[in-house]
Structure 1
Amino acid sequence: MSIPPPPGPQQPQGPYQPPAAGGPQYPHYPQPQYPQGPYGPQPPYPSPYQPWGQGHVPYVLPAPVNGLAIASLVLGLLCCLPGVGLVLGVIALIQIRRRGERGRAMAVVGSVFSGIGLAVWVLLLATGGAAEFWEGVKEGASETSSLSLSTGDCFDTPGDSLTGDLVTDVTRVPCEDAHDGEVFATYDLKGAEYPGDDASGGSADHRCYALEDTYAFDLWAVPDDVAVYYFTPSEDSWSTGDRSVVCAFGSAAEGEKLTGSYRAQVGAFTPEQVSYLRAAHILNVALDTAPDTDYIEDDLPGNKAWAGRVATALGKQSAMLRSGKWSADTERPVLALAADLDKARTEWARAAKAPDVDTFYAHYDKGYKLIDPHRAVTVRDALGLSVDPPAYDDGGQGAGSEGGGSGMQV
């Protein structure tokens, strides 16, 4: 019977190689399996870092430049808004210190230049230099002389002429010296868009004639060789803000000059003369609103509306004459003129309601004869006013447009 060997140390489980004869015996452990690398099996190396994901910036960005510092520098160098540039520069310095932004040098330079510019503007305003500077800018920007002329100015033009498509420059001269023109009125055109040469000229055509006696007061005292001219904005000057229309007296003869002023103050007339001239002014304004047409039939509705305005003015003129305080020498001719004006008003009112052109002409002709300027000679003689009726005037010529207007003054 065989006896089993005594128990020895516990052997590991698993495959093993048989021991070599006469040598020690060692347990055999299984070899680990590594992933295949480019150079054979390669054990993994654990890393404590995660790979960069998309959007990660591996470097530090420089601090941004403060936007207000840039604005302050630009405004300071241009000197267009020095006060704003100074304020923006101060705010920029505060923000740069608080936020750690760049642009400190720009903010400082902008503030300094803005401060200098602001000081210059204050000095100009205090000495009146700003107003003179702006007038110079306007005169240089405008292609017409309208921006540089005011009521009462006497002036000369290049070539000693008030006619032509464009007057580009004028020179003020004393009215007692020989001159080309004398400004008797100015007014502004309305609207944002340029109205065009025809529209602006048409406006001046009516308005200037209606404003004559606000300056001369008695148009019968203005010689027949004196005509009305006007300057209107050009399309280029309109874009710079020019809206002024200038109405001026000038010689009716080409190349001739005026001497002295035709301006007349109300204080130069007696109370009776003032009352009569103010009444006459009402009718003169209405007459100068006639449509710009060659024939009645070209615009019958417009001429009917005009006849209505004339009829209204005749009623007001007659009422003013009847209510005035007249001396014994003037009362009779004044009341006789008022009676003619009442008859004229009736005819003009009928023309305003005419159903056709022929009917309009019938009443228009009668009404026009009743306001003939010669009918006012007796009254004017009694009042001590000029008795030479103005010649019928088709109007002077404006810069770029022909003049017009009824020319009838009573």
Structure 2
Amino acid sequence: MNGFAVTALVTSLVCLAPLGLIFGIVALVQISRKGQRGKGLAIAGISVSGAVLLLAALVAGTVDFKVWTIPGRDSDGKVARSGWTTILSLRTGDCFNPGTEIKRDKSILNDASVELVPCDTSHRGEAYASFTLSGQRDFPGPDTIAAIATPRCGKLFLDYSLDPGAFGPLQTYYYYPSERNWAAGNRTVRCWVGPKGDSELDTTVRRDASNLDSGQLAFLSAVKPLNSTGLLRPVRGPRDDLDGAKAWAGQMAEAQAETIRLLKDADLPGARRPTEQLVAEFEAGLPFWQQAAKASDADTFLGHLRSVNQHNGDTHVRRIRELLDLPMPSTPPTQARHETPAPGPV
């Protein structure tokens, strides 16, 4: 009995198909030369091994396998080499591609992996802040977490990027701990931002005081209250939640009044005239925010919002930005109530 024939069959049956194929061929050569027994075993080993290898080739052509290469960071902690990791490893400033398609109609996060990439390469997300939930012993549930995370992530984003409109239409998201991870002690919410639709970013959206001159910083700081409160616009409209819409309108009235005050105090050399015109537009629009906060029905509320839009000062904003050498703004970012690309905890 040829020993390689026996080995070929055994290795093929224990999923060592490449070895089974090799041992089977060696066995057939030796059996033919030496007149030994075991030809059937060798053929069986070759057949099983061949079938396993063929099946593996077919599966490899249809299944998406992630190669979990470890991302590399430079001496400053920035991602220098792409690689796969988990959501729990995200750091502020990390650019990444979510391991699952961004959808808003599911209740479970099926893939908690992310591909970290350098921020100057194409990516779908950027982590900009994180914070710890406190004050709750038991898992508070998604709705309670949303009520905390939505406004806080919105405010933190305007701290991270004073000029988000310069990067195209953006959407903010957040990851929060699942009930199981909550029980294990995880209380961290991770805020991140990505472009709307199917577009991608190829640069960081971080823009703080270190990237701006004094005039640019003064203007962007002045409009920050209005921008940050605008992010908190309720997901449900006034026809579905009039009280929520009215509460937001009241917040917008306060934010617009604060922006007016800051613009009047701002030192904007070379842009004083359009700044005065912008203040006048905001002052004209402020009463409509105040009236919307007291609207008796949804139609009245929406009517006041249309009046607000007639005094948004867009022409003056563009002129100020041009004079201050700021990029022209696009659609401002919006705040996502849901926390993940495929909504669900992590």
TM over 0.5: yes
The answer as to whether partners of 1:198 and 1:401 remain within 8 angstroms in 2 is no
Amino acid at match of 1:371: N
* Alignment-mate amino acid for residue 317 of structure 1: T
Q: Structure 1 residues 206, 178: closer, same or farther in 2, change over 3 A?
A: same
* Structure with greater contact order relative to length (CA < 8 Å, sep ≥ 6): 2
Q: Which runs of 5+ in 1 are unaligned?
A: 1-143, 403-410
1:273 aligned counterpart, secondary structure? helix
Percent of aligned pairs with the same amino acid: 30
User: TM-score scaled by structure 2?
Assistant: 0.64
* Bigger Rg over Cα: 1
Cross-structure match for 1:183: 127
Instruction: Call closer, same or farther: CA 1:360–1:173 in 2, change over 3 Å.
Output: closer
Deviation at 1:257, TM superposition (A): 5.4
Q: Check conservation: 2:117, 2:123, Cα contact below 8 A.
A: yes
Of residues 322, 339, 348, the one that matches 2:264 is: 322
Provide the TM-score with structure 1 as the length reference: 0.55
Distance of aligned partners of 1:369 and 1:200 in 2 relative to their CA distance in 1, 3 Å threshold: farther
Residue 228 of structure 2 is aligned to residue 285 of structure 1: yes
**For the structure 1 residues 318 and 391, does the alpha-carbon distance in structure 2 shift closer, same or farther, using more than 3 Å as the test?**
closer
Consecutive unaligned residues of structure 2, counting only runs of 5 or more, are 1-84
Aligned partner (choices 229, 241, 252) of residue 299 of structure 1: 241
Deviation sequence 1:27-59 (CA, Å, 0-9, x none): xxxxxxxxxxxxxxxxxxxxxxxxxxxxxxxxx
Cα distance in 1, alignment partners of residues 218 and 249 from structure 2: 24
Distance, in Å, in 1 between the alignment partners of 2:171 and 2:233 is: 19
Match of 2:161 in 1: 216
* 1:184 counterpart SS class: strand
Match of 1:272 in 2: 215
Deviation at 1:271, TM superposition (A): 0.8
Q: Flag the 1:391–1:271 CA change in 2: closer, same or farther, 3 A.
A: closer
Match of 2:205 in 1: 262
On the 8 A contact 1:373/1:389 being kept in 2, the answer is no
Contact 1:197 1:401 in 2 (8 A): no
Structure-1 residue corresponding to 2:30: none
Change (3 A) 1:157 1:315: closer
Correspondence 1:6-405 to 2 at 5 A = 145-158=86-99, 161=101, 163=103, 165-166=108-109, 167-190=111-134, 191-201=136-146, 203-224=148-169, 226-254=170-198, 258-294=201-237, 296-327=238-269, 329-371=270-312, 373-390=314-331, 398-399=339-340, 400-401=342-343
Counterparts of 1:171 and 1:383, CA distance in 2: 37
The secondary structure found in structure 1 opposite 2:202 is coil
Aligned to 1:298, what secondary structure does the other structure show? coil
* Deviation >6 Å, runs of 4+: none
Letter in 2 for 1:195: P
- Equivalent pair of 1:279/1:317 in contact (CA under 8 Å): yes
Aligned-residue CA RMSD in angstroms? 3.0
What is the rounded CA distance, in whole Å, between the counterparts of 1:157 and 1:290 in structure 2?
26
1:385/1:313 CA distance change after superposition, 3 Å: same
Q: 1:290 to 1:155 in 2, by over 3 A?
A: closer
Looking at structure 1, the residues matched to 313 and 343 of structure 2 have their Cα atoms a distance apart, in angstroms, of 28
Q: 8 Å contact 2:146–2:338 — kept in the other structure? A: no
- SS of alignment partner, residue 181 of structure 2: helix
Report if the CA contact (8 A) 1:219-1:390 is conserved: no
Determine if contact 1:252/1:396 at 8 Å carries over to the other structure. no
Using the alignment, how far apart are the partners of 1:361 and 1:253 within structure 2?
Answer: 26
Change beyond 3 A, Cα 1:289–1:363: same
CA–CA distance in structure 1, aligned partners of residues 261 and 181 of structure 2: 45
Counterpart contact for 2:158–2:228, Cα < 8 Å: no
- Which amino acid is the alignment partner of residue 137 of structure 2? A
User: What is the SS of the residue equivalent to 2:240?
Assistant: helix
How far did 1:205 drift?
Answer: 4.2
How many residues get paired? 254
